[in-house]
Amino acid sequence: MFDALADRLENAWKKVRGQDKISESNVKDALREVRRALLEADANLQVVKDFVAEVEQKALGAEVISGVRPDQQFIEIIHNELVSVMGDANVPLAHAESAPTIVLMAGLQGTGKTTATAKLALHLRKEERSVLMVATDVYRPAAIDQLIALGKQVDIPVFDLGKDADPVEIARQGVERARAEGFDTVIIDTAGRLQIDESMMGELKRIKDTIQPHEVLLVVDAMTGQEAANLTRTFHEQIGVTGAILTKMDGDTRGGAALSVRRISGQPIKFIGVGEKVDALQPFYPDRMASRILGMGDVLTLVEKA
């Protein structure tokens, strides 16, 4: 369904073959293809517009490299720009000087927060960090049971106060417990909420103000479309996020949401979820994500060889 951008660009460039240099006249078709490819990968329209404008500037100012076709050079410019937008290197999870490190999970309904809470806990335990998970989702049916069941799977304790308690109070007591019992990290799972739901966003804000987390992770489904930009903007403005987890990356989505999340929040994507199982969590690598969004696996090596 998606032609790799590389093929498209080659086609766009065929029309102008013989021109051995990127110029204002021949870059236009190529930029149109880039725009289209990014939109098909679900990057947000506004984000794409800005990105394409930046790429145009970079491409026009680029030095001619002998032996490299302009379409290949152009792809490399786009790829590099995408990598640099997404943060060049992986950023690990915060580790507070005095324990416990407090991590707050947030996001829309069904994105994978509860699963990611357990995945992250397991990941940290592998780094010899002890973890307590806190169940504050009192709304979704069996949400607490779900976290408890996951806790059993990974053998990590879960703090809860049942579903009649106030989420802010659960979070507060959970952190208190973690501190009292000397846990290295405490992860607070929260209920899914729409960014336009004022009372639920207010609750999340109160949780944050109460527990003062070191890390607020926005959990975003990699299959999200244009909405990724809107939800990131509101969560960031109202709550303040320090990073993101992109889930369900084991699917075949291009994941252009990553570009929107990163651009709009300015915060790094720290992990990706790559499966339903508790060990299916990986660090986020900007260069792999860039290649995936552009639908190109081996183009880079091609350029390197040239």
Partner 1 sequence: DKTRRSLVNQLKAIVGQGPLNEDAVLEIESLLLQADAGVDATDKVIQALQKQLREETLPPEQAIAYLKKILRELLDRPLQGSHSVFFAPEKEMLNIWLITGVNGAGKTTTIGKLAHIAQKSGYRCLIAAADTFRAAAVEQVKVWGQRSDVDVIANPGQNTDPAAVVFDAIAAAQSRNTELLLIDTAGRLQNKKNLMDELNKIRRIIDKKAGTATVESLLVLDATLGQNGLRQAQVFAEAAQLSGVVLTKLDGTAKGGIALAVVEELGLPIRFIGAGEGIEDLRPFSSYEFVEALISG
Ligand X SMILES: Nc1nc2c(ncn2[C@@H]2O[C@H](COP(=O)(O)OP(=O)(O)OP(=O)(O)O)[C@@H](O)[C@H]2O)c(=O)[nH]1
Give the shortest CB-250-to-ligand X separation in angstroms: 5
Residue 45 or 142 having the CB closest to ligand X? 142
Kind and range of the H or E element at 131? strand 131-135
Q: How far is the CB of 49 from partner 1 (least distance, A)?
A: 9
**226 interface partner picked from ligand X, partner 1, Mg ion, none, CB below 5 to 8 A per type:** partner 1
110 scored as a contact of partner 1 (CB under 8 A)? yes
How many chain residues interact with ligand X (CB under 6 A)? 22
Locate 302 and state its tokens: 């091609």
- Asked whether position 185 contacts Mg ion by CB under 5 A, the answer is no
3-class DSSP state for residue 164? Answer: coil
Calculate the CA 271 to chain-centre distance.
7
Name which position in 26, 73, 195, 247 contacts ligand X (CB under 6 A): 247
- Concatenating the DSSP letter of every residue in 46-92 gives HHHHHHHHHHHHHHHTPPP-TTS-HHHHHHHHHHHHHHHHTTSS--P
Angle between helix 198-211 and helix 227-238 axes, rounded to 10 deg: 50
Dist CA 195 CA 181 (whole Å): 34
Residue nearest to Mg ion (CB): 114
Instruction: Point out which residues pair with 132 in neighbouring strands.
Output: 186
User: Which part of the chain contacts Mg ion (CB under 5 A), choosing from 112-120, 167-175, 231-239, 272-280?
Assistant: 112-120
Cα–Cα distance between 252 and 283 in angstroms, integer? 18
Closer to ligand X by Cβ: residue 248 or 262: 248
Interface ranges with partner 1 (CB under 8 A): 1, 36, 39-42, 44-45, 108-112, 139-143, 145-150, 153, 194-196, 221, 223-228, 230-231, 248, 250-254, 256-257, 276
Interface ranges with ligand X (CB under 6 A): 107, 109-115, 137, 140, 143, 191-192, 194, 247-248, 250, 273-276, 280
